[in-house]
Amino acid sequence: MASNLQLFLRHLAQTSDSPYLLEVEKAEGIYIYAADGKKYIDLVSGVSVSGMGHGNPKILQAVRDQLDLYMHLHVYGELIQKPQVDLAVRLSEILPDTLDCTYFVNSGSEAIEGALKLARRFTGRHRTIAFRNAYHGSTAGALSVQGGEEFKNAYRPLSPGVSFLDFNDFESLDQIDESIACVLLEPIQGEGGIILPENGFLELIRERCNRTGALMIFDEVQTAFGRTGSLFAFEHWNVIPDVLVLAKALGGGMPLGAFIASSEMMKVLSHDPVLGHITTFGGHPVSCAAGLASLEMLLTEDLGREAARKEQIFRNCLVHPMIKELRGMGLYFAVELGDAEKVKKFMKLSIENGIISDSFLFHDTAFRISPPLTISPEQIKEVCAQLKSLLDLIK
Ligand SMILES: Cc1ncc(COP(=O)(O)O)c(C=O)c1O
C-alpha cells in the first residue's frame, strides 16, 4: 500500500522540490508531533499564524460553539453574522479611530487585492509604489506588487503602474507624488529578512502621502497581533496607515484576512458599481469566532508585551560566534549567519534534530524564529541551548 508520503508527492500539487516531508500526527502548544512519534519544536508558528499555540483550548472551544450554530451561510456582506460583527467591533476598539471599518476576506493575498482596489477607487488613480524584497502574496495583483523579481518574471505581464523603491531609501520617496494611488509596505520587511525601518522612514512616507493624497497601506499580515512586542507593528513608530492589511494570526489558526480603513473610504466599494469586491467565504463565521477568541486571549494575557520581554530572553541566550546578528523585534527574528551555505546546513540539521525553523524568500543568509507567543521562558532557554549546539556542528 502506498504511504502517505508517496500519496502526498503523487496527488498533491507541490510548491518546490524540497518540502519538509514531515507527516504530522497532532500539534499542541509549541510542539508538532510526527506520525513516527518524533516531537518537534515549532519555531515558525505556520509563518506567524499560531500565536496562541497549537490546539489552544479557548480557540477550539470558540470553534466548537460556532460549529453548533452555523458554518457558511451566504456570500460576505449579505447577512448579519454575529462572529463577523463581534470581531469587526473588537478590531475597531483596539485600532485608531480612522481604522473603524473592516472588510473580511480569506487570505493575506486577497486582502492585498482588496486594499489595492480600494486605493484605486478612492483616489481615482492607479499607480502604486511598493518596495524591493517585499512579499504581499501570490495572486496576480499581489504578485505585481511583490518585490522579488525572480518570482514574477515567469508570470508577466502583471498589473502595470507599479514602481519599486528600496526599503529605507529616503531619497527615493520623492517619487510619491500626485499620480500615486497608494504606497504599500510592510512596516517591518518579513521575507526580506526582518528588516526594520530606519528612524524617520515610515514618518516620511506618511508625510508624503498626506501631502499628495496617496494612501498609505501597511501590510501587517506577519507583524500584527503581538508578534513584534506590540499589538500592531505600526504602534512602535506611531505612524497610522490609511489602510491596514491583516491575515495569518487574525483567524487564530483558521483562514481569515481583512483590509481595514475608514468607513468613509470603504463606502466607495459599495456603489457605482456595487460589489466593488466580493468573496464567498470571506469572514467565515468559524474563522471569525476563532479569531475573536485568539484576540481576547492575546489582550487578556498581554502576550504582545510578554513578547517584548521574551525577546530579551532570546537575546540573552542566543549568543554564538556564528550568529552575526539577531535582527528583529518581539518574537520575530532573523538569525543572521551571513552565509547561505551555513543556513542550508542549519535548516537540514534543525529538522533532523526536532526543530522547525524556516528560511526567508528574499534573504538566504539568515533563518527565521517566529514561535508561538505562548512559548515559556524555560522553553526559550531550552531551545536556545539546542540551537547553539546545532550551530556548533556547522563548519
Ligand atoms: C507580509 C505578507 N503579506 C501577504 C501575505 C500573503 O498572505 P496569504 O499567504 O494568506 O495569501 C504573506 C504571506 O506570507 C505575507 O507574509
CATH number at residue 360: 3.90.1150.10
Residue to mutate (ligand 1; options 50, 135, 243, 259; most atoms within 8 A of CB): 135
Residue to mutate (ligand 1; options 107, 221, 281; most atoms within 8 A of CB): 221
Task: Note down pLDDT in tens along the chain; length 395 residues.
Answer: 999 999 999 999 999 999 999 999 999 999 999 999 999 999 999 999 999 999 999 999 999 999 999 999 999 999 999 999 999 999 999 999 999 999 999 999 999 999 999 999 999 999 999 999 999 999 999 999 999 888 999 999 999 999 999 999 999 999 999 999 999 999 999 999 999 999 999 999 999 999 999 999 999 999 999 999 999 999 999 999 999 999 999 999 999 999 999 999 999 999 999 999 999 999 999 999 999 999 999 999 999 999 999 999 999 999 999 999 999 999 999 999 999 999 999 999 999 999 999 999 999 999 999 999 999 999 999 999 999 999 999 97
Residue finishing a domain among 300, 331, 350: 300
- Strand (E) or helix (H) holding 293: helix 285-300
Split into its structural domains, the chain has a count of: 2
CA 162 to chain centre: 22
109 lines ligand 1 (CB under 6 A): yes
CB 164 within 8 A of CB 131: yes
- Ligand 1 mean position, distance from CA 272 (Å): 30
Asked whether residue 143 falls in the same domain as residue 103, the answer is: yes
3 state DSSP class of 165: strand
Ligand 1 atom, smallest distance to 47 CA: 14
Asked whether residue 261 falls in the same domain as residue 185, the answer is: yes
- Output phi, psi for 367, to 5 deg: -120, 165
Asked whether residue 43 falls in the same domain as residue 173, the answer is: no
**Ranges of H-type helices in 103-153:** 108-123, 140-144, 149-152
Nearest CA to ligand 1 atom 8: 108
Which residues, at least 6 apart from 325, have a Cβ–Cβ distance to it below 8 Å? 334, 336
Asked whether residue 191 falls in the same domain as residue 117, the answer is: yes
Asked whether residue 273 falls in the same domain as residue 324, the answer is: no
CATH number at residue 158: 3.40.640.10
- Ligand 1 mean position, distance from CA 68 (Å): 30
- Ligand 1 mean position, distance from CA 137 (Å): 5
Q: Evaluate the CA torsion angle 43, 46, 47, 50 in order and state its sign.
A: negative
Cα(166)–Cα(172) distance, integer angstroms: 8
Asked whether residue 268 falls in the same domain as residue 143, the answer is: yes
Asked whether residue 234 falls in the same domain as residue 306, the answer is: no
Residue finishing a domain among 254, 282, 300: 300
Residue finishing a domain among 283, 300, 317: 300
Judged on CB neighbours under 10 Å (0-12, 13-18, 19+), 255 is buried
- Total residues found in the chain within this entry: 395
3 state DSSP class of 326: strand
135 lines ligand 1 (CB under 6 A): yes
Asked whether residue 288 falls in the same domain as residue 241, the answer is: yes
Q: Which residue range(s) make up the domain with 43?
A: 4-55+302-392
Peptide bond into 255 cis (omega under 30): no
Asked whether residue 209 falls in the same domain as residue 335, the answer is: no
Strands (E), the chain: 24-28, 31-34, 39-42, 101-105, 127-131, 162-165, 180-185, 215-219, 243-246, 257-261, 325-329, 332-336, 355-356, 358-359, 366-369
Ligand 1 atom, smallest distance to 255 CA: 10
- Provide the whole-model pTM: 0.98
- Ligand 1 mean position, distance from CA 248 (Å): 7
136 lines ligand 1 (CB under 6 A): yes
